Amino acid sequence: MGRLPVHREERMTAPQMGIRPPQAGTRRIRTRLIVVGLASLLILAAMGPARADVLVNKPKGRICVGEAIKTGVWYQAYSGGPRWFEVRILSPRDRVVFSTRGKATTQWRYWKFHPQRTGVFRTVYRVPGWQARFETRVRLCGGGSRAGLATYQSLIPHSIACRGKVRTLGFRPLSI
């Protein structure tokens, strides 16, 4: 008896199995993605940890005449670093209408400014390492003149308390 014939496996090539080779552009895209990923990791590593020494209060974007633009600062003691700040509020005509500066504390400190006219007021914070700008649109609410300087209700007599005494302010009624 002789040996049984040995069958050799034939290897099939990719095209014979129906597999297509990768497109030429795929390698370029993959290489670019790897390069961009590595570059972004290097940039993030070079920046180091983020520091937030002095935090600021963002004022409301819209208020009515007579309401307050509320500003404030807070010092993050656990992050360390300088604690100085400067806050300015600019009128629609770019004039400084409110300004304060100092050292931030570990508790929030707030200041309020009550605009008496309409327009866009800008709040500018300067703290160590950066500057922030916020806009507040002041508008008329509940009637009044278009100029935003006086309303009909401000001409009606009203009483106010002055050192415990009540006084009436305003104009006498006109007789027709």
CATH of the domain at 121: 2.60.40.1930
In a domain, 70, yes or no: yes
Say how many domains are in the chain.
1
pLDDT confidence of 176, banded at 50, 70, 90? low
In a domain, 137, yes or no: yes
d(CA 148, CA 72): 26
- Which of 115, 133, 162 is closest to 59 using CA atoms? 133
Please give the pLDDT value at position 122.
98
38 φ, ψ to 5°? -65, -40
Residue 106 near residue 93, CB atoms below 8 Å: no
Geometric angle at alpha carbon 34, from 31 and 35, rounded to 5°: 85
d(CA 16, CA 77): 69
Q: Which residues does residue 169 pair with via DSSP β-bridges, in sequence order? A: 158
Residue-wise pLDDT tens digits, 87-127: 999 999 999 999 999 999 999 999 999 999 999 999 999 99
In a domain, 76, yes or no: yes
**DSSP E strand stretches across 104-129:** 109-113, 119-127
In a domain, 134, yes or no: yes
The residue with greater pLDDT, 76 or 155, is: 76
Global pTM? Answer: 0.54
Residue-wise pLDDT tens digits, 146-168: 544 544 444 444 444 444 444 44
d(CA 94, CA 109): 25
In a domain, 99, yes or no: yes
In a domain, 109, yes or no: yes
In a domain, 166, yes or no: no
* Parallel, antiparallel or unpaired: strands 119-127 and 130-139: antiparallel
Please give the pLDDT value at position 148.
46
Please give the pLDDT value at position 135.
97
DSSP 49: S
In a domain, 24, yes or no: no
Domain holding 105, by residue range, is: 54-149
